[in-house]
Amino acid sequence: MTLSRMPLSYCTNVHPGRSLAEVQDGLTRFMLPIRERFGEPLAAGLWLSRPVIDELQTADTLARFADFLRHRDLPCYTLNAFPYGDFHSDRVKEQVYLPDWTHPDREQYTLNCARVLTALLPDGVDGSLSTVPLGFKALATSTDFLDRCLNRLIATATGLARLRDETGRTVRLAIEPEPLCVLETTDETVAFFQQLRDRADGSRASNAVREHLGVCYDVCHQSVEFEDIAASIRQLVAADIRINKVHISCAIEARNPTRDPAVREALLRYVEPRYLHQTFARTPSGARTWHTDLDRELVMSPSPEFAAAEIWRVHFHVPVDAERLGPLGTTRADLQRALAVLPELKYAPHLEVETYTWEVLPDGGRTELVEGFARELRATRTLLNNLTHPNQLP
C-alpha cells in the first residue's frame, strides 16, 4: 500500500462554527494562510455542527458551499461528525458525547453529514465521517445501551449503503475510541465490532456493516491508554476492522510529577474549563489508574495510586511537532510508530491533523494558530516522507 494520495487535511473544529457563515470565515481567515505557510496543497477536514448541517440541507445552499470550497482549491474528503453542538462554548467537557448512539438525533445528524459530504467529495474519492465512541461510560447507564447502539449503527450502515446507491459516492463511518468512553481500548473496540457483525449476519445489512463501519484511530487517545500503538493497529487489522481515518495527534506525558515541582507547575497550566482531559497514570509495576479530568486537586493532592506513578498521560491534544513542552514531554514517539505501521495496510486511510486545543493552550496559543498549524503540517509531512520500519523507532 502507498499512503493516501489526497492532501493532508487539518480538522477545522479548532475554529468556531456555529453557522455556515462562521465556517466560511474560519476557512478564509485561517485555513488559506495556513496553506500558504505550509507550502503544499491542503484539504479541509470540516467540522460541521448540527446547525450548520441543517443550513446545508437545501440544494442551493449546499451547491454554493461546494463552489466556495472549489474556488479556493480546498478539497474535502472527511468530516468530523463527533461534536454535534457548540464545540467552542465555555464548557464542553462530557457534553461533547451527546447525543450518544442510542439517540435518533445522532443517527440523523450522521446521515445528513454523509449526504452533505457526497456533494463535496472530489471525483473518484471515498469519504469518511468520524463519530462518538458510542457514548461516555459514566453517562451510558441504561441496561440496554449497547443493544440500542448496535441497532442504530446497523441502521446507519444501511442508510450509508442506500446513499451510495443513490449518489455513486461511498461514505464510511469512523467510530473514534477515546479514554473513558464506551469504546476506549482496542480490545473493547474489537469485541464491539464482532457484536455488530454477529447482529447483522444473515440479514441484508451484513454487507453494509462490513463496508461502511470502521474506526477513526486517534493516536493521542490510545497513547493515553498506554497501549502499544503498533500492536493496537495490527490488532484492528487482524480483526478485519477497517481504519477509515487516522487522527494525527499527540498527548501530554508527565514523568514523576509528584516528585518534580517543575513538572507539577507545568501541568497546572494545562488545567482549563472547556474540554475534558482524561488523565491516566502507570505505576512502576505497570498498573494503570485514571482520573476523569485534569484538575488542580489531582495535580496538588493526587491519590496514592497517582502519587506512586512514574508516568502520567493527559488527553490534551498538543502540537504534533513538539517533543517537549518545557518540563513536560509528549507522546510524539507513538505518533511515529502509528505512521510507520500504516503502509502495512491494504488501503489508504484518511490522514488528518487534529489539534483542536490551540485556543486553550497556555501562553496565548490563539495568536500563534496559523504558524503553529503550518508547523504541525510540515512536521507531519516530514514524518510521512521519511517512514521507517516501526521496529527501528524508539
User: What does the pLDDT average to over 1-13?
Assistant: 84
Domain 9-249+332-392: top CATH class? alpha beta
Listed by start position, the domains of the chain span 9-249+332-392
For residue range 24-70, list pLDDT tens digits in order: 999 999 999 999 999 999 999 999 999 999 999 999 999 999 999 99
What's the confidence (pLDDT) of residue 364?
Answer: 52
Residue 283's pLDDT band (cuts 50, 70, 90): confident
The rounded distance, in Å, linking the Cα atoms of 311 and 136 is 24
Residues 6+ apart with CB under 8 A from 329: 252, 253, 254, 255, 323
CA distance 42 to 334: 24
Average pLDDT over the chain reads 95
Confidence of residue 4 (pLDDT cuts 50, 70, 90): confident
Q: Write down the pTM of the prediction.
A: 0.96
Predicted confidence band at 5 (pLDDT cuts at 50, 70, 90)?
A: confident
Residue 221, pLDDT above cutoff 90:
yes
Interval 156-160 mean pLDDT? 98
The full 3-state SS of the chain, as one line of letters, equals: CCCCCCCCEEEHHHCCCCCHHHHHHHHHHHHHHHHHHHCCCCEEEEECCHHHHHHCCCHHHHHHHHHHHHHCCCCCCEEECCCCCCCCCCCCHHHHHCCCCCCHHHHHHHHHHHHHHHHHCCCCCCEEEEECCCCEHHHCCCCCHHHHHHHHHHHHHHHHHHHHHHHCCCEEEEECCCCCECCCCHHHHHHHHHHHHHHHCCCCCHHHHHHHEEEEEEHHHHHHCCCCHHHHHHHHHHCCCCEEEEEECEEEEEECCCCCHHHHHHHHCCCCCCCCCCEEEECCCCCEEEECCCCHHHHHCCCHHHHHCCEEEEEEEECCCCCEECCEEECHHHHHHHHHHHHHCCCCCEEEECCCCHHHCCCCHHHHHHHHHHHHHHHHHHHHHCCCCHHHCC
Average pLDDT over residues 219-229: 98
**What pLDDT sits at residue 158?**
98
Checking if the pLDDT of 367 tops 80, the result is no
Q: How confident is the model at residue 369 (pLDDT cuts 50, 70, 90)?
A: confident
What pLDDT score does 174 carry? 98
363 has a pLDDT exceeding 80? no
Q: pLDDT band for 211, please (50, 70, 90 cuts).
A: very high
Is residue 256 within 8 Å of 287, Cβ to Cβ? no
Mean pLDDT value across residues 159-186: 98
Residue 394 pLDDT > 60, yes or no?
no
